[in-house]
Structure 1
Amino acid sequence: MRIPHLGASPYEYDSWRQSDTEAMALNFVEQKFNILYPQMHYDGPKPNYVQLEFQITTFLIAVLYKLFGHHYELARIVPVLFFIGSAYFVYLIARRFFSAPAAWIAIVLYGSLPLTFLYSRAIMPESAALFFFTGCFYFFSRWIDEDRLPPLIAASLFTALAISQKVPTVFVGLPMIAMAIAKYKIRSLWNWKLWSFAAVSLLPPYLYFSWLASISEYTFVSGIASKHVLPNFLHAFYSDEALAFFRGELPKAFTVWGLALFIAGLATLNWRKQYPIGIWAAAMVLEAMTVVAVIKFNYYLIFLGPPLALLGARFLQTIGKSRTGTAVSLGLLAITCWTSLQTVLPSLHKQHTELIRQAEAVRELTGKDDLIVVGTDDPSLLNASNRNGWRVTNTLPGKPIEEIHYFKNHGAKYFVPLKGFIYGDDGSTKAYLDAHFEKIEVEGGYTIYKLQ
Structure 2
Amino acid sequence: MNNKRWNLIVTILVFLFIFAIRIPHINNSPCEQGDFWRQSDTESIARNFLEDKFNIFYPQFNYDGKKPNYVQLEFQITTFLIALLYKVFGYHYYLARLVPITFFMGSSIYLYLIVKRYYGNPVAWYAIIAYAIMPINIYYTRAIMPESAALFFFIGAFYYFTKWYDNEKLSTLFISAIFTCLSISQKTPTIFIGLAMIFLLIKKYRFRFLLKWELWIFALISLLPNIIYIQWSRSIAEFDYVTNIGLLHIVPKSLKAFLDIESYKFAGGEIAAAISPGLIVPIIAGLIDSKWTKDYPIIFWTAAMLLEVIAVVAVIKLKYYFIFTTPIAAIWAGKNLGKLGNGRRIIFSVLMGLSVLAIWNYKGCKSFFVEKDNILKQAEVIRMYTEQDDLVVIGTVEPTLLNQSRRSGWRANIKYYKEIPTGAEKEIHYLVEKGAKYFSPLGGYIYGDDGSYRKYLDDNFEKLGEGDYFIYKLR
Question: 1:85-125: CA deviations, max 9, x gaps?
Answer: 00000100101111121111111111111111111110000
Does the 8 Å CA contact 2:71/2:242 hold for their aligned counterparts?
Answer: no
Q: What code does the residue aligned with 1:436 have?
A: N
- Match among 26, 42, 45 for residue 6 of structure 1: 26
Q: 1:140 aligns with which of 151, 157, 161?
A: 161
Q: 2: CA distance between counterparts of 1:156 and 1:104? A: 27
Aligned identity (percent) is 50
Structure 2 Cα separation of the partners of residues 277 and 429 of structure 1: 56
2:372 maps to which residue?
352
Aligned to 1:191: 212
TM-score (structure 1 length as normaliser) = 0.94
- Cα distance change of structure 1 residues 323 and 121 upon mapping to structure 2, 3 Å threshold: closer
Query: Does the CA-based 8 Å contact 1:29-1:62 persist in structure 2?
Result: yes
* Partner in structure 2 of residue 399 of structure 1: 423
Give distance in 2, aligned partners of 1:394 and 1:242: 30
Deviations, residues 199-254 of structure 1 (Å, cap 9, x unaligned): 10011111111100001023566522222111101123555764564465333311
For residue 426 of structure 1, the aligned residue among 430, 438, 450 is 450
Contact 1:320-1:328 within 8 A present in 2 as well: no
Structure 2 SS opposite 1:36: coil
Q: Which residue of 2 aligns with 1:371?
A: 391
Deviation at 1:335, TM superposition (A): 5.7
Aligned to 2:59: 38
CA distance in 1 between counterparts of 2:364 and 2:176 reads 35
Contact 1:22 1:123 in 2 (8 A): yes
What does residue range 223-302 of structure 1 map to in structure 2 within 5 Å? 223-236=244-257, 239=260, 242=263, 245-246=266-267, 248-302=269-323
Structure 2 unaligned residues grouped into runs of 5+: 1-20
CA 1:324/1:59 → structure 2, altered by over 3 Å: closer, same or farther? closer
Deviation at 1:60, TM superposition (A): 0.4
Deviation at 1:311, TM superposition (A): 1.0
Alignment of 1:124-203 (within 5 A): 124-203=145-224
Out of 384, 403, 425, the residue aligned to residue 404 of structure 2 is 384
CA offset at residue 341 of structure 1?
2.2
Does the 8 Å contact 2:62/2:69 carry over to 1? yes
Question: Which residue does 1:209 correspond to in 2?
Answer: 230
Change (3 A) 1:267 1:106: same
**Letter matched to residue 7 of structure 1:** N
Question: How many Å separate the matches in 2 of 1:208 and 1:450?
Answer: 41
Match for residue 128 of structure 2 among 100, 103, 107: 107
Residues 1:413 and 2:455 aligned together: no
2:387 aligned counterpart, secondary structure: coil
Comparing 50-59 with 145-154, which one deviates more in the overlay?
A: 145-154
Looking at structure 1, the residues matched to 280 and 427 of structure 2 have their Cα atoms a distance apart, in angstroms, of 47
Change beyond 3 A, Cα 1:357–1:302: same
Gap change, CA 1:327 and 1:364, over 3 Å in 2 = closer
Any idea what SS the aligned residue of 1:37 has? coil
Tell me the C-alpha RMSD between the 2 structures: 2.1
Partners of 1:212 and 1:133 in 2: CA distance: 22
- Please say if residues 242 and 296 of structure 1, whose CA atoms lie closer than 8 Å, have aligned partners that are also in contact: no
User: TM-score under structure 2 normalisation?
Assistant: 0.90
